Amino acid sequence: MNIQSQNNSASYISSPERSWCKNKQMMDDEFEPQDKQMLDETNSKFQSQCLIEDPPMQNENALSQNSFHYEEQQQMMQAEILSPSKLLRTGNEPKSTLSFDIKLEQTSIQEEPIVNSRTRRKASKANYNVDDSPTMDSEIRPCHCSKTNCLQLYCSCFHNRRQCTQECKCSECFNDGQHSDEVLKAIEQIKIKEQRASHHDLDSFDTRQVWGCKCKKTQCMKGYCECFIRNKKCSSHCQCSNCQNKKQKTSINKKIKKI
DNA sequence: GAGTTTGAAACT
DNA sequence: CAGTTTCAAACTC
């Protein structure tokens, strides 16, 4: 296994990779022994990234961690090439034919889809693309962006910091792995906006974080609500109206105790 | 599949 | 900072 990290076509660290940091142990269990060895070789390189990005906004260093600089991203993006989720890609290959994709084809990694029932969401009408669980690429929904070149947060692919795939139906896509400069510029602009807005403790690209919804009409019970989408209850951070997605103070627990 | 609704993101 | 516009996804028919 000879993975070269010189390729920098992959232009940013995607959320699934960051989820991998947290869920590495679980995923390790799913690898064959020979693959584990490869993973171990990459662990040391990846650990620094994990330290930088996790956990989000939960300590005093969150500010500096979340406002990491563009150049740091460039350094870290090399690690993405070694990411397990890339190695486990199961059919949603990016539009581009990046060199690391070619190298991956030469590996002995099993590319059968890994279906992890533990992390599979409850079946629902919509397969929401959220990554607060170790979502595999095979579960990622394609985007349909038509006007933003997939370089704004409207784009679910860009928002999750992953490249658009062949399944995406976007037009004039710059998030295809062949426009690294444009992508990096877009990321940089968003980071600048965050800082201007004094959102130092936010990471717009961390879709695991929920800032709080502002739903007014849907009672936070439809897929428009970011809390609902993430299977999370609305909190004091939300500014929603007529919310039906708040934690219920059920009397069930009390009844159980009595029993 | 087309049109409408919705709320996040972007803009002013 | 608040109001408005734009956008893409969710939803309805």
Using CA atoms of A246, A233, A118, A37 in order, give the dihedral in degrees to the nearest 10.
-160
B6 C1': nearest CA residue: A224
Q: Straight-line distance from CA A151 to C1' C5, in Å?
A: 18
Per-position pLDDT tens, chain A of length 259? 433 333 333 333 333 333 333 333 333 333 334 444 444 444 433 333 333 333 333 333 333 333 334 344 444 443 333 333 333 333 344 444 333 333 333 333 333 333 333 332 233 344 444 444 434 444 567 888 988 889 888 888 888 888 888 888 888 888 888 888 888 888 888 877 776 665 555 566 665 555 678 888 888 888 888 888 777 888 887 888 888 888 766 555 555 455 5
Residues with CB under 7 A from strand C: A 125-126, 128-129, 141, 143-148, 152, 154-156, 198, 222-224, 229
Q: CA separation (Å) from A29 to A22, A23, A37, A115, A248?
A: 14, 10, 12, 13, 36
Task: Count Cα neighbours of A47 within 13 Å in the Cβ-side half-sphere.
Answer: 7
The pLDDT value recorded for residue A203 is 67
CA A117 to chain centroid, in Å, comes to 19
Whether this model's pTM surpasses 0.85: no
Return all residues near A241 (Cβ < 8 A) that are at least 6 apart: A215, A216, A217
**Cα A7 from Cα A11, distance rounded (Å):** 10
Q: Which residue is nearest to nucleotide B8 (CA to C1')?
A: A154
CB A208 within 8 A of CB A19: yes
Return the pLDDT at A88: 33
Phi and psi of A196, rounded to 5°? -60, -40
How do the domains of chain A map onto residue ranges? 15-196, 212-259
Cβ-7 Å neighbors of strand B: A 152-154, 159, 190, 193, 204, 211, 213-218, 222, 224-226
Identify which of A71, A88, A87 has the alpha carbon closest to the alpha carbon of residue A8: A71
* pLDDT for residue A218: 85
pLDDT of residue A225: 87
List the A218 CA – C12 C1' distance (angstroms).
14
Q: What is the C-alpha separation between A9 and A12, in angstroms, rounded? A: 9
Task: Pick the closest to residue A15 from A70, A53, A61, A57 (CA basis).
Answer: A53
pLDDT for A161: 82
